[in-house]
Amino acid sequence: MDGTTRVEEALSGAIERALTAAVSSVATPGAPPRLAAALRYAVFPGGARIRPRLCLAVACSCGDDEPGAADAAACALEFLHCASLVHDDLPCFDDAPLRRGKPSVHRAFGERLAVLTGDALIVLAFQTLARGLATNPARLASLMMIVARSVGMPTGIVAGQARECEPSADLAQYQREKTGALFAAATMAGAAAAGVDPGPWRTLGEKLGEAFQVADDLHDATGDEAALGKPVGRDVALDRPSAVRSLGVEGAIAHLNQLVSEAAQSIPPCPGADGLKELIIMETARFLPRELWQRAA
Amino acid sequence: MDGTTRVEEALSGAIERALTAAVSSVATPGAPPRLAAALRYAVFPGGARIRPRLCLAVACSCGDDEPGAADAAACALEFLHCASLVHDDLPCFDDAPLRRGKPSVHRAFGERLAVLTGDALIVLAFQTLARGLATNPARLASLMMIVARSVGMPTGIVAGQARECEPSADLAQYQREKTGALFAAATMAGAAAAGVDPGPWRTLGEKLGEAFQVADDLHDATGDEAALGKPVGRDVALDRPSAVRSLGVEGAIAHLNQLVSEAAQSIPPCPGADGLKELIIMETARFLPRELWQRAA
């Protein structure tokens, strides 16, 4: 096992432990049992945990003098991501039957519990931040603002999702809000949790978020439903904006490669810059369908 | 105009100004226009603003050395209340056609924007706290925990709403979570914003929350749809637990009077205790349908 793989495995373990602890703090025996079950179902087993991994990787690269703060930020971002998946899957939006290879939350628990599970996850995100930063409140306000901006109005995930309800939407803006905002929050929160100025870390997250969105569009256009654990071909079926619809498959792959290169070059000076660059290139390989990655390499 | 009325009017003015500033900070020209409009529609014009009034009144009674913190806490509670109304009105829950005398958010803007408006309001609540406490982070974590507990799992508003999805629900617990939790947060946050130990202020909020829920049940059972601005008779129609269904109208009125009396007696020692007691009794008169209030007096 090489060094980068060990870092990867350590990140995964830390994230799952922190998520489990945070969920267990509210999904207690006193909670409504079906809501508690739906909340656990929405978070575990997870997807690739790309956003919290990115947050912790940046915090480590910046020295990570306060691991509890970085863990809390990573959990908050993952809870907000899960909340957006649960609400986006609702019948009034995508009416998605599958998510992460199992029935979506509203198919498994009903629409009412799916609405409430999303709400509870948003609250849990901020509660986890408050709990994790209780002994270091000076960093709490900064982390809260980074996280809240990435999910709320005027340009966070919720705003991005609302662009689908407007008469017309700009693809770049839509993707920046729907995906890029949470990736930018991941890199900025990782820096802020380690006591480092988050501003210079925004570009890294934005570029990776754009790259991830392009990869997601490629999965939707070319992927295999069984391997992905969710339906494919939805962008065309729902007439949603998509990089593949705008640029074609080859154009989308070229765009993705350009974005990852720009991301790696944007890493600000920090103690772990070299390792972070290596990790990012390795993680990017997870984004693409394997067959396309070989074509792109 | 007597002293208490002047205090009441000052509270109202402060609350509307703070809510307007917080909404305007996110419903900017860059936001999706329909989501921004739906968010404003969900907050303005408001109802009685009982929770933020209670929060500010407690903060004032405790000395209110940090008015920006109390304003932020009051706004956060009102945004969370509005979010719960928007989501509770959704077709999958009450499918309510009217709220505050006008079409509910999903009737006016569609179901998708109603889901997103609720989500955006939850985020805005925490964002407003972070912004209002940026210069006093020591109080931020405490306020965050109070507010998050009142709305999330295991025993906040979301949990209370989820009791409707369980096979059976205990009326007292349901009301404590659905209504009492946010009232308890109002009194505790008012104290915490003023730098005072919030623990002793919980009982006041819980008792007032119970009283308000009983009054709401009386409105639903005996009220006038035009005067209330929302449908009546919903508890029976939707087979929901209700104090009137359990105790009858006279029994519910007696219970309410007992709760208000216990609330007034529970006020902890503080510089403004006498004025607060007077204000609470005056505010309680707003809870009940006028005709019932005269019978109860």
What pLDDT, on a 0 to 100 scale, did the predictor assign at position B297? 47
CB-facing half-sphere around the CA of A88: CA atoms within 13 A: 22
Q: Between A and B, how many residue pairs show a Cβ–Cβ distance under 8 A? A: 189
Q: At what angle do helices B67-88 and B137-151 cross, to 10 degrees?
A: 20
Residues 138 to 197 of B: which have CB under 8 A from any A CB? 138, 140-141, 144-145, 148-149, 151-156, 158-159, 161-166
SS3 per-residue string spanning chain B: CCHHHHHHHHHHHHHHHHHHHHHHHHCCCCCCHHHHHHHHHHHCCCCCCHHHHHHHHHHHHCCCCCHHHHHHHHHHHHHHHHHHHHHHCCCCCCCCCEECCEECHHHHHCHHHHHHHHHHHHHHHHHHHHHHCCCCHHHHHHHHHHHHHHHCCCCCHHHHHHHCCCCCCCHHHHHHHHHHHHHHHHHHHHHHHCCCCCHHHHHHHHHHHHHHHHHHHHHHHHCCHHHHCCCCCHHHHCCCCCHHHHHHHHHHHHHHHHHHHHHHHCCCCCCCHHHHHHHHHHHHHHHCCHHHHHHHC
B260 Rama sector, left if φ>0, alpha if ψ -120 to 50, beta otherwise: alpha
* Closest to B148 measured CA to CA, from B113, B111, B106, B192: B192
Collect all residues of chain B within an 8 Å Cβ-Cβ radius of residue A92: 110-112, 115
The pLDDT of residue A68 is above 60: yes
Residues 23 to 42 of A: which have CB under 8 A from any B CB? 26-28, 30-36, 39
Q: Of residues A226 and B196, which shows the higher confidence score?
A: B196
**Percentage of chain B lying above the pLDDT 90 cut:** 67
- Lowest mean pLDDT of A185-199, A273-287, B39-53, B112-126, name the range: A273-287
What pLDDT, on a 0 to 100 scale, did the predictor assign at position B291? 66
Cβ within 8 Å, pair B140-A144:
yes
Q: Would you place residue A237 in the very low, low, confident or very high pLDDT band (cuts 50, 70, 90)?
A: confident
- Min Cα separation B213/chain A (Å): 20
- Lowest mean pLDDT of A98-107, B165-174, B253-262, name the range: B165-174
Q: Of residues A7 and A200, which shows the higher confidence score?
A: A200
Q: Of residues B224 and B115, which shows the higher confidence score?
A: B115
Average pLDDT over chain B reads: 91
Instruction: Kindly state the average pLDDT of the residues B28-33.
Output: 95
Instruction: Kindly state the average pLDDT of the residues B257-276.
Output: 94
Q: Does B88 touch chain A (CB under 8 A)?
A: no
Collect all residues of chain A within an 8 Å Cβ-Cβ radius of residue B166: 32-34
pLDDT tens string A163-174: 989 988 787 888
Closest CB from B36, B130, B149 relative to A141: B130
SS3 per-residue string spanning chain A: CCHHHHHHHHHHHHHHHHHHHHHHHHCCCCCCHHHHHHHHHHHCCCCCCHHHHHHHHHHHHCCCCCHHHHHHHHHHHHHHHHHHHHHHCCCCCCCCCEECCEECHHHHHCHHHHHHHHHHHHHHHHHHHHHHCCCCHHHHHHHHHHHHHHHCCCCCHHHHHHHHHCCCCCHHHHHHHHHHHHHHHHHHHHHHHCCCCCHHHHHHHHHHHHHHHHHHHHHHHHCCHHHHCCCCCHHHHCCCCCHHHHHHHHHHHHHHHHHHHHHHHCCCCCCCHHHHHHHHHHHHHHHCCHHHHHHHC
Task: Tell me which residue has tokens 């449908």.
Answer: B231
Q: At what angle do helices A3-26 and A33-43 cross, to 10 degrees?
A: 170
Closest CB from B126, B141, B159 relative to A137: B141
Q: Would you place residue B19 in the very low, low, confident or very high pLDDT band (cuts 50, 70, 90)?
A: very high
Give me the number of domains chain B comprises. Answer: 1
- Lowest mean pLDDT of A142-151, B20-29, B250-259, B288-297, name the range: B288-297
Cβ within 8 Å, pair A164-B113:
no
Q: Would you place residue A295 in the very low, low, confident or very high pLDDT band (cuts 50, 70, 90)?
A: low
Cβ within 8 Å, pair B153-A126:
no
Q: Say which CATH number the domain at B190 has.
A: 1.10.600.10
Dihedral sign (CA B124, B125, B130, B131):
positive
Full residue range of the structural domain in which residue B52 is found = 3-296
**Percentage of chain A lying above the pLDDT 90 cut:** 67
Taking the CA atoms of residue B220, residue B224, residue B229 and residue B231 in that order, the dihedral angle to the nearest 10 degrees is 50
- Cβ atoms of residues B209 and B181 within 8 Å: yes
Question: What is d(CA B123, CA B23) in angstroms, rounded to the nearest whole number?
Answer: 12
Closest CB from A93, A127, A162 relative to B148: A127
Could you tell me which residues come within 8 angstroms of residue B50 by beta carbon, excluding any fewer than 6 positions away?
B212, B283, B286
Closest CB from A83, A111, A162 relative to B92: A111
Q: Does B116 touch chain A (CB under 8 A)?
A: yes
Q: Does A228 touch chain B (CB under 8 A)?
A: no
What pLDDT, on a 0 to 100 scale, did the predictor assign at position B232? 81
Collect all residues of chain A within an 8 Å Cβ-Cβ radius of residue B41: none
Instruction: Kindly state the average pLDDT of the residues B219-227.
Output: 79
What pLDDT, on a 0 to 100 scale, did the predictor assign at position B217? 87
pLDDT tens string B89-148: 999 999 999 999 999 999 999 999 999 999 999 999 999 999 999 988 889 999 999 999
The pLDDT of residue A290 is above 90: no
Cβ within 8 Å, pair A127-B144:
yes
Q: Does A259 touch chain B (CB under 8 A)?
A: no
The pLDDT of residue B25 is above 80: yes
- Lowest mean pLDDT of A64-73, A209-218, B153-162, name the range: A209-218
The pLDDT of residue A156 is above 80: yes
The pLDDT of residue A297 is above 60: no
What pLDDT, on a 0 to 100 scale, did the predictor assign at position A292? 65
Collect all residues of chain B within an 8 Å Cβ-Cβ radius of residue A43: none
Burial (0-12, 13-18, 19+ Cβ within 10 Å), A134: middle
Q: Would you place residue A10 in the very low, low, confident or very high pLDDT band (cuts 50, 70, 90)?
A: confident
